[in-house]
């Protein structure tokens, strides 16, 4: 069964820590995405990547960076975690450029910054 795997379901970090959220897909998908989901705000795009070593900013990239050294892995980095980054983080991948195919999502990482 093809899937997107996020390394942690729940994570608690302290303010100021550097946080790594890992996402791995086994479908040989070109495209990978990071969204965050907050009550009342829906899903918001943080960063995305259409190829290895390529990255593009989404709507809310401030305070985040990403790394894509291998096709199957897309990491989200919180350089210095803050309480307003407490959220559900969702990783997704898709087969081709554009939106002609659906996205496959991971189960999400619920991050709490204290």
Partner 1 sequence: SQQGEEDPQALSIQEGENATMNCSYKTSINNLQWYRQNSGRGLVHLILIRSNEREKHSGRLRVTLDTSKKSSSLLITASRAADTASYFCATDRRSGNTPLVFGKGTRLSVIA
Q: Which of residues 4-23 bind partner 1 (CB under 8 A)?
A: 4
Q: Does 101 bind partner 1 (CB under 8 A)?
A: yes
Nearer to partner 1, 14 or 100 (CB): 100
CA–centroid distance for 110 within its chain: 12
Is 90 a residue that touches partner 1 (CB under 8 A)?
yes
Residue 37 makes CB contacts below 8 A (sequence gap 6+) with 43, 44, 87, 88, 89, 90, 108
> How does DSSP classify residue 84?
G
Of residues 59, 70, 82, 112, which one binds partner 1 by CB under 8 A?
59
User: Interface with partner 1 includes 62 (CB under 8 A)?
Assistant: no
Cβ nearer to partner 1, comparing 42 with 84: 42
Dihedral (CA of 101, 102, 108, 112) sign: positive
* Interacting residues with partner 1 (CB under 8 A): 4, 31, 33, 35, 40-43, 45, 48, 50, 58-59, 88, 90, 92, 97-108, 110
């Amino acid at each position: 069964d093809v899937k997107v795997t996020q390394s942690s379901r729940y994570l608690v970090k302290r303010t100021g820590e550097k946080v790594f959220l890992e996402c791995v897909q086994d479908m040989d998908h070109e495209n990978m995405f990071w969204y965050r989901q907050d009550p009342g705000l829906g899903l918001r795009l943080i960063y995305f990547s259409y190829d290895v070593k390529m990255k593009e900013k989404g709507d809310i990239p401030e305070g985040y960076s990403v790394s894509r050294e291998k096709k199957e892995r897309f990491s989200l980095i919180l350089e210095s975690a803050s309480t307003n980054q407490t959220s559900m983080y969702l990783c997704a991948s898709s087969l081709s450029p554009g939106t002609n195919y659906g996205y496959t999502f991971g189960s999400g990482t619920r991050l709490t910054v204290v």
